[in-house]
Each structure stands twice: as structure tokens, then as C-alpha cells.
Structure 1
């Protein structure tokens, strides 16, 4: 199978977005390793929690209530949260100032434990993420799914992207493109599909010298319903 050359994808995206300059203005770049390592544990937990709550709920509604989340959950500081007993979590889940959803609230201590535990193997969670090899970024997705709570599917990857990690996203547009060119031929969440996607993105990264994040965005802009008329 011959994978479409990245130059062709880029030119199609540029044409759809009004030229190369306009396309470049739309494409965001990931943070450096040094920048990622400065992210504190509480900000990782806050980001994971926000994405968990945004699943199936208006993102705008979650953002509007977010100051209340920060206040109720000690600004997502790991130590006080990990000390709370079960009954307190159930009480907090009923607080009318946030979005009341018990199972999502219970993801907070579980993801706090995941972040905390990373320091024993990787120095810190930020250090682990910053040094995770991009040619196996799906391995980081799987880590979040295995050791975290409610971070499977696109929840984990979208959080990573939001925090500045260099990762591609299997959005509907990107997935559709990968299927159209024959890279993916199985369900999106299968090991086979993720490995095939990773291999294709590694190939495009070698061709272009761009980050996975940039490549992913450019592919999305090259197809779908986002054309500038």
C-alpha cells in the first residue's frame, strides 16, 4: 500500500483554507520537553477532570462551572484529594455548584493516584509525558487508559493535545482520511487500527519534519466540512 505523500495533503489543506499562510495560522504547535516538564500535577488532574466531564456534555457548560470545580476540589491539589474518604466524594458529587455526576467525580481520586504513582517510576508525571517517544504516542494513550479512569477513547489524547503534548488525534476527519487511503480497516479503538495510524503518522513525520500534532491538524483541514469558500 502506498500512503499519500504529506506534500499532497498539505497542498489540499492550504487550498481549502485560503492559502499556506492562512493554514499555518490555524495550526498550533506542541510544547517543548522543557515546557511540559514544568506543568504541575494539579494542572494535569484538572485537565483530565475537565475532559472527563466534557464527554457527553456541552463544553461551554463545563467551562462556565469550572471555577466551582476548582474551588470544591482544592484546586486539584493531589495530597488533600487523596486523603478524602469515600463518603466525602459522594457528598461532593451532589454539590449543586458543579455538574452532579457521581462516577465522573469518582474519576478524580483515581486519576490523582495515577499521576502520583508516576513519580515512583518516571520521577514525575510531567517528566514521563515529556519524554514519552512520539513514535509510540499510542503507548501513552494506552497508559492513560490502563492506569487512569475514564481516559480511554479520545478523552486521554484530547487532554494531552490540550496540554501541549505532541500527539495526533483520531478525530472523525482524521479517521475518515485514514480509512479512505486504506491505513485503517478495523474499528478505531483496536490495537491494529492504532498501530496502523501510528505507523502512518511516523511516515508523514519523517517526510515533513513536522510534529504529530501539526500533521494531525493539517490532515483534518484537508478533508471534511471545514473548507473556506
Structure 2
């Protein structure tokens, strides 16, 4: 594995300068700031990531105000009790994308968030305090206990609320293969542990957030 400094130089060769690279780093929240995010915003962010998966992000962005109205602000305790009548109404609601399987995830993920609230005080508290050295454990929990939060959906959801962590974009995966961390898209537990170890190493070496390391890896592949 090359050092972060070397990877930044590689990225800068495509982007112009180190300052240009720094300007492209994603915004992350401190644990205290993330812990203050209300759980209705957590459910909204989960839902947005799920509906964006395999669909035009621009369409979801343009309809998002309608989603907020249709789901009455995404209060988890409201939607954990989604009724058949609620579902029927939502399937007819032109303010949203009427995908039944994805609509049902709002109920299932609301149940998860209510369970996390019971256990931790809030879902945001659970997420904010989850150690970065076990980011794969957080992703695994969301995949197993949530609905349609596997693949990159959970990663994009976490990035959107400001949680530090990586996103397996196409270029990040290419960079990890180039660096010898993995040999293909990391889906197995052993491959994910290798990715965790690599990010831990780069973080210890540089002090940079995992999200910044992820973006540097993507930028080191080349121009868009």
C-alpha cells in the first residue's frame, strides 16, 4: 500500500494541486454533532438512499419535498405502525416514487430506529459512537437489522448524515484493487476485514478521517 501522501500526489496530478484535493473532501460531523441529529432525519436519509439506489438521483431530489409531505416528516414511531391503508395510500401518491418494496422499508427501518432509541437513547447516538475501527460492524448491523441497507446504500446513507466512513464507489474499489488490498469488489467478510485494516492503517499514518481517505482513493484513479 502506498502512503496517503503519495495517493494525494497522485490525485493532485489529475486535479491540479493539493489545495484542490482538500477542497473536494466530504464534510463529516463530530460525534457530538451527529448525536444531535433527530431520528426522523435519520429515517429520511435512510429512505432517500434506498430510493436513490438503482434510480435517477435527480428524480428523487426533485421529488423529495413530496416524500417529506407524504411520509409526514418521517417520524419513526409513526411509521413503525404503517398500516395496510397507509401502504395503499402511498402506492397511489404521485408525490413519491411508487415502489411498493421500497415504501415498506420505511416501516421496517422505523422499527430498527425505535429499537436503537430504546437501546441507546437515539439511533443517532448509536451511529455517532460506533467505533471507526469497526465500521464494517456498523455496516453489517444496518444490513442485517435494517431493510435494503446492504451494498452501498448504507454507506451513502451514513455519508449523507455526516458519519465518517468509506463509500465503495467504482473508483474507490479500483484504487483498493490497485493498492493490493483486495482483488475484486469486496463483499465477503474476509475482504471487508482487509478493507477495514487498510483504512485503519491509513488513518493511523495520516490522522485523516476515513471519509477523506475514501475520497483521496477515488481521486487517485484519475479524472472523472
Normalising by structure 2, we get a TM-score of 0.96
1:165-203 CA-to-partner distances (Å, cap 9, x unmatched) read 000111111111111222113542111111111100000
Deviations 1:66-104 (A, max 9, x none): 111111111101222223312321331221221110000
2:36 maps to 38
Q: Paired residue for 1:11?
A: 9
Deviates more, 1:19-28 or 1:149-158: 19-28
Change (3 A) 1:109 1:87: same
Unpaired segments ≥5 residues, structure 2: none
Whether 2:64 is the aligned partner of 1:73: answer no
Secondary structure of the residue aligned to 2:73 is helix
Give, in whole Å, the separation in 1 of the partners of 2:150 and 2:222: 24
The match for 1:58 is 56
Aligned with 1:126 (options 108, 124, 127)? 124
Aligned residues: 224
- Residues of 1 paired with 2:64 and 2:56: CA distance? 12
Q: CA RMSD in A?
A: 1.2
Counterpart of 1:177?
175
Task: Indicate the larger mover: 174-183 or 128-137.
Answer: 174-183
Shift of 1:145: 0.3
Residue 131 (structure 2) pairs with residue 152 (structure 1): no
1:214 aligned residue (212, 218, 222): 212
Give the stretch that moved more between structures: 115-124 or 43-52.
115-124
